[in-house]
Structure 1
Amino acid sequence: MRIVINGGHCPGRDCGALGRISQEAEITRELMAAVAGYLRAVGYEVLEVQENDLSQVVKESNDFEADLFVAIHCNGAANRNARGTEVYYFSPKGAIVAQCIQKQIVNSLETLDRGIKESATFYVLKQTNCIAVLVETAFITNEEDEKFLLVKRNEFARAIARGITDYHVILVQEG
């Protein structure tokens, strides 16, 4: 299985959401590298992409002929009390991946379960030629979630990788 892991936003060009002490693009870069490392360790072909230009992200994914695209983000909100994990998808098979990843993060890290959500608003979900999901790990704008992200980055990465492998097991079982 060929997988693209996309770290949301781009350090030095688009920092994404800002926490009190961190930037989304920096956290997602670390998460992207860790998730990719876990997936490579169990035999998947993985491409890491973190670009400011979303059309370039989609092009690299499509050129790689990926089977799965996973964008990793940190959520942000004007309401500093907003917290938790949610995963967005665009297709029915994307819903299966989203559920696998959501379940792993919520169960292993005990984050607030904001659920999986269908969305046609995310460019990368609509434009990639493969199944695609966008993971909002936690709210960087919530002080507790931000600290949790910083301390538990590796656990978030493992949970995302396990969610992806759970999905692959489902695919194999379906034939």
Structure 2
Amino acid sequence: MKVFINPGHMPGVDSGAVNPNSGLKECDVALAVGKLVEYYLKNAGCEVMRLQSDNLNGETPVYPNVCKTANDWGADIFVSLHCNAFDGYARGVETLVFKFGSEAERLAACVHKQLVDTEQSVDPYILDRGLKERPNLSVLRNTDMPAILIEMGFIDNDHDVVLLEDKQDTLAKAIARGVTDYANS
């Protein structure tokens, strides 16, 4: 299976959300977890390409185009990694797909289950925010393969940020298990 990993945002260009207390940046969490997911998937026999770029679909031509690269490479699945932010109180994990009833929803269900089960084993108060349709997101709309976007937790929440900061390896293993569950189903 060819898995394309897209750590969200881009250091030095667009950090994404930032924790107001620690300064932890979404782009850094996404990249760290993305590298670990890549490692675990390669060890499981997957072919993996990872790209973090501020150019999702041609809007920033100076950087590599994420959707075009995934499509041209012929990825079987696409996984984009992110951290949510809202008001400092919202928390939990959610997984986004272009459309319910699609193959992407099946992929999302496998990954989301592993991620929620893992996060709740570390912190029983982590909320399962479920699967959500988001047809307006470029990486879900402009990819040719089943694509998901994972919001691993709320980086601006004091509880979720502990997972995002201290449990990156645990999160990566859960995501990789979800991908392999999907591949084996």
TM range (shorter): over 0.9
Q: Which residue of 2 aligns with 1:159?
A: 174
Q: Which residue of 2 aligns with 1:33?
A: 35
Post-superposition Cα deviations, 1:6-43, rounded to whole Å, max 9, x if no partner, equal 00000111000011220000010001100010000011
Candidates 90, 99, 117, aligned match of 2:109: 99
Post-superposition Cα deviations, 1:45-99, rounded to whole Å, max 9, x if no partner, equal 100010011120001101111010000000111x211000000011411111111
Distance 2:68 2:33 in 1: 22
Q: Which residue of 1 aligns with 2:18?
A: 18
- Superposition pairs for residues 9-158 of structure 1, below 5 Å? 9-19=9-19, 20-21=21-22, 22-55=24-57, 56-77=65-86, 79-91=87-99, 92-110=102-120, 111-158=126-173
What's the Cα RMSD here? 0.8
**One-letter amino acid of the counterpart of residue 94, structure 1:** A
Distance 1:134 1:57 in 2: 13
Deviation at 1:144, TM superposition (A): 1.2
Give structure 1 regions of 4+ aligned residues with deviation exceeding 6 angstroms: none
Could you tell me which runs of 5 or more consecutive residues in structure 1 were left unpaired when the two chains were aligned: 171-175
**One-letter amino acid of the counterpart of residue 80, structure 1:** G
Could you tell me which runs of 5 or more consecutive residues in structure 2 were left unpaired when the two chains were aligned: 58-64, 121-125
> What SS does the aligned partner of 1:47 have?
strand
Structure ranking higher in helix proportion = 1
Structure-2-length-normalised TM-score? 0.89
**One-letter amino acid of the counterpart of residue 86, structure 1:** E
> What SS does the aligned partner of 1:15 have?
coil
Distance 1:73 1:6 in 2: 9
Structure-1-length-normalised TM-score? 0.94
Aligned residue pairs total 169
Post-superposition Cα deviations, 1:130-155, rounded to whole Å, max 9, x if no partner, equal 11000000000111111221111110
Post-superposition Cα deviations, 1:79-125, rounded to whole Å, max 9, x if no partner, equal 21100000001141111111111110111120310000111011000
Taking every aligned residue pair, what percent have the same amino acid on both sides?
A: 40
> What SS does the aligned partner of 1:143 have?
coil
